[in-house]
Amino acid sequence: MELQRIRHDLFGIAKRLKSIDRRYELFFNRKKNRYEIYANGAMQMALPFERLDARTLTYARKTRLENLEKIIAEIEEENARLEIQKTRETRDKILAAEEG
């Protein structure tokens, strides 16, 4: 079996996930060598961390559907910031070429 259910861990992450969503169950996918969170038998997320710690809880809270609008806003803000930065860098290169 490639999925191993995690019921107990050093920091109690498996138990604490239940406070975020009572349906959450934590598994370790041996084939993919990663932790995954399931609800009602469906995978909800693959964790980007090698170890279970407080980051797992933060990630689970942040990626919940209820936070979708906030996540989209954060992505849009970051994209706008990057676009402004790219525009400035391009402008600076053009000005430097004109001076040189």
- Are residues 79 and 43 part of one domain? no
- Are residues 35 and 6 part of one domain? yes
- The pLDDT of residue 33 is 96
CA dist list (Å): 59 to 20, 42, 55: 11, 18, 6
- Are residues 48 and 30 part of one domain? yes
Q: Are strands 42-46 and 24-29 parallel, antiparallel or unpaired?
A: unpaired
Range of the domain at 57: 1-63
Structure tokens at 50: 């090698």
Encode pLDDT of 7-21 as tens digits.
999 999 999 999 999
Is it the case that residue 85 has pLDDT exceeding 80? yes
Is it the case that residue 50 has pLDDT exceeding 90? yes
- The pLDDT of residue 60 is 94
Q: For residues 52 and 11, is the Cβ–Cβ distance under 8 A?
A: yes
A 10 A CB-CB count for 51 gives 12
Structure tokens at 54: 């407080």
- Are residues 80 and 37 part of one domain? no
- Are residues 49 and 75 part of one domain? no
Is it the case that residue 61 has pLDDT exceeding 80? yes
Q: State pTM to two decimals.
A: 0.65
How many distinct structural domains can be found in the chain? Answer: 2
